[in-house]
Amino acid sequence: HVQLVESGGGSVKAGGSLTLSCPVSGDTVSSRYMAWFRQAPGQGREGVAAVDSDGRTGTADSVKGRFTISLDNAKNTLDLQLNSLKTEDTAIYYCARGAEDYGDGMDYWGKGTQVTVP
What tens-digit pLDDT sequence spans the chain (118 residues)?
899 999 999 999 999 999 999 999 998 888 889 999 999 999 999 999 999 989 999 999 999 999 999 999 999 999 999 999 999 999 999 999 999 887 889 999 999 999 999 9
Distance CA(9)–CA(115), nearest Å, equals 5
